[in-house]
Structure formats: C-alpha cells, structure tokens
Amino acid sequence: MRLGLLSALLPLAACAARPAEVRVGFDAAGVTSEEARGIADRRTGRRVTADDPVRIASVSKLIVALGVMRLVESGRIELDRDVGHYLGWPVRNPAFPDRPVTLRLLLGHRSSLMDDADYIVPLGERLRDRLGDARAWDRAHAPGAYFRYANLNFPVIGSVVERVTGERFDRAMRRLVFEPLGVDACFNWATCSDEAVARAVVLYRVNGEVATDDLRGRRPDCPVVSKGPCDLPAYRLGENGALFSPQGGARVSMRGLARIGRMLLAGGEGFLRPESIAEMERAGWTFDGANGDTTSGFYCRYGLAVQLLATPVKGCADDPFGGERVGHAGEAYGLRSGLWLDRRAGKGVAFFATAVPDGNKGARSAYAKAEERLGR
C-alpha cells in the first residue's frame, strides 16, 4: 500500500518541481500563440499561466525607456542635455570632467559608468554618493566613447524621472507606461493590483532555493532594499533612483509584455510617435572590434535600451533566433526573459523561463538554450 502511494506521489513531485516557462507570440493585431508549462509556486503547486507577473530582469530597461520617451515627447526632458541639469548636482566621470553625461548615453550604456561600485543603493543612502565612488567610473574611456553594459545607468535615469515628474519612480512608470497601455504591471510590487500580487511567479535557483518573490499572496513589507527602517514617506524624490530597481525590477505577465510589444510593432498606437520608436531602435553603438565590451559577443549593437540582434561582425554571437530582431533580454535570479520583435515578419514574442542553469549556452549564440528555443 505504501509503495503504491509512493509511486503515485513521485510523478506529482516531479511535476511540482518543473521550472516555469511561458511564451506568448503576437503580431500588431493581437496574440497569435500561447504556451505555459511548469509551476509558478512550488509551495502551493500553482501552475504558471500567461497572466502571471514575473520579475523580467533587464527587459525592464526597455520599459523605462518608453517612459523616458513619453517625457521627451511632452517636452519635459531632452535626450542630449546634461543630466546634472535635471538632478541639481553634477554627474561627471572624474577622469573626464568636461564631458557631460546625457540620457542618451545612459540609455545606451555609453556613459562610462560601471557596476564595480554596485548598483543597489539601499533606502537611506544617496545615489550621488555612490557615483562619488571612483569604482563607479571607467577612467579609461570618456562618456560616449565606449559601450559597457552597466545597470548603474538606470538608477541615474530613475532619479531624473523623479525630479522632472515630481513622482516616485514606480508611480511615474505606472502613469507613463502601464496605465496608458492597460497593463497590470509594476516595479517592486507596490503599485500592482491585489490580483497580480496573488499570481506572482516565484523565482527559484537551479538547486530549488527561492531566489525572490515568494510573496505568499501579500506585498512585501518593504518594497525596496533598506538597511534600516522602511520609511518611504521620508524619502526625497530624486535622491535614490535605484530604490525601485529600474534596471530589472519590473513585474509583468507575458500577456502584458506582449501588449507592449504589439504597441511597438504597430508604430506606437498613439502611445508614442513612430519616430520615437525608430529613435529607440536606431543603433547608437555598433561593435567595431575595439569600441566596447560585448560580454562574449552577447551585445554587439545597442540603441536606447534596445538590443539589435544578428550583427555581422567578427566576435559577435548575437544571433540566437536566426535573423535580425530588436528588443531586450533579461537574466537574473535563475530567470531568462525576452521581448523580441521581428520587424520584417511583423511579429514578436514575449517569454521567460525560470531555474535556468548558469553556463547553459545555446548552440548558435551567446544566449542560453532556453532563450534560443523560446524566442523563435
């Protein structure tokens, strides 16, 4: 009897441990395909769906850029103006004090900022002080001269957004991006609906340990990193744009991410002007063999928080899907994610996979096997 019960439970246990994967295909008119398999929450056994929000890692950067471009179109900010103008304090590489840092350079990872000083700035600390750390800057390359992917660019952008809107970053992104597109999404859970919180995808490491977002149906007591009391009401806008993780902290379902992709495919749909989208997708940097760090061929062309794929340059390994794409990849906490548009075919895909092993490279690129499979 016990042996029979054990035999019956083993398949259930294996199913419960299966990593979550979701893929939504779309064109400008709507969703064209949908796949969801695996478990969103191993504690409860809840199966994942395309409506479950997940931390999409660096795909968040593209979402931040959409908010920035909305502010550009409204005349609130300029891509090529010194960001110190908006922040009220200078942002300078100490090795190149006469070279301004602009939103264009920050969005394009050409600001000369680096992540060596860390991009996580807890509540109670100031971003300005973090940028005062010599390790935050590439002293060998002036702003605009070199591509180096750095998460620290986006806390600076977050602070600019707060200064010009007078809103906390997560609330500004809700007003500028998520609400106009009808997407129930948020940065760090504070502004998501109760329904979205209840459907959160828990991220697990390959060994089964919880990595993040084991919410158990409720928002985190503190939605930001804090070394002391979580006194968000005392926070001064613009002082720390890292709080709500603009570099990777967006929580959105794949149906929601596909909605964003459909807007881009359709040329803006009144959300953005077509020329703004074209500006985002224009390669501000293309690897020429010496003008940037490609991270083993992963990055070879980059626009304004947009990756451009399939670069025909020696040393590039950025063709995971067999042709040109625009969009962005995400990687954190064992997750791989992506929002990719095939402009020629007029279609796109939004996907994620959890518990992806490190070093699990695909057969044709620097991307993971899961990315190559789900992004096609």
Q: Which domains does the chain have, with CATH numbers?
A: 19-223+242-374 (3.40.710.10)
Residue 193 has pLDDT above 80, yes or no: yes
pLDDT above 60: residue 2: no
Concatenating the DSSP letter of every residue in 170-196 gives HHHHIIIIIHHHT---EETTTTS-HHH
**How confident is the model over 32-62, as pLDDT tens digits?**
999 999 999 999 999 999 999 999 999 999 9
User: 359 CB contacts (<8 Å, ≥6 apart)?
Assistant: none
Share of the chain above pLDDT 90, in %: 94
CA distance 233 to 11: 49
User: What does the alpha-carbon distance between residue 19 and residue 42 come to, in Å, rounded to a whole number?
Assistant: 9
For 32, list phi and psi in degrees, rounded to 5: -110, -20
pLDDT in tens, 240-279: 999 999 999 999 999 999 999 999 999 999 999 999 999 9
Q: What is the pLDDT at residue 183?
A: 98
Band of residue 169 on the pLDDT scale cut at 50, 70, 90: very high
Paired residues of 27 in beta bridges = 30, 347
**What would the pLDDT profile of 340-368 be if each residue is shown by its tens digit?**
999 999 999 999 999 999 888 899 999 99
Residue 12 has pLDDT above 50, yes or no: no
User: 194 is written with which tokens?
Assistant: 């109760």
Q: What is the pLDDT of residue 17?
A: 74
**Mean pLDDT throughout 16-43?**
95
Q: 276: helix, coil or strand?
A: helix
d(CA 371, CA 360): 10
- Distance from C-alpha of 185 to C-alpha of 23, rounded to nearest angstrom: 17
CB burial readout 291-306, b (16+ within 10 A) else e: ebbbeebbbbbbbbbb
Is residue 7 pLDDT above 50, yes or no?
A: no
Read off the pLDDT band of 206 (50, 70, 90).
Answer: very high
Predicted confidence band at 228 (pLDDT cuts at 50, 70, 90)? confident
Residue 4 pLDDT greater than 80, yes or no = no
- Distance (Å, rounded) from C-alpha 252 to C-alpha 50? 10
Burial of 201 (0-12, 13-18, 19+ CB in 10 A): buried
| pLDDT of residue 328 exceeding 90 | yes
Task: Record the pTM.
Answer: 0.95
Residue with tokens 């109670």: 124
Lowest mean pLDDT among 140-154, 169-183, 287-301, 358-372: 358-372
98: pLDDT strictly greater than 60: yes
Cα–Cα distance measured from residue 35 to residue 38, given in angstroms and rounded to the nearest whole number: 10
Decide: residue 231, CB within 10 A, 0-12 exposed, 13-18 middle, 19+ buried: exposed
Report pLDDT for 5.
45
Query: In angstroms, rounded to a whole number, what is the distance separating the alpha carbons of residues 352 and 335?
Result: 7
Q: What is the pLDDT of residue 227?
A: 86
Q: Per-residue pLDDT for 119 more than 50?
A: yes
Helix (H, G, I), strand (E, B) or coil at 250: strand
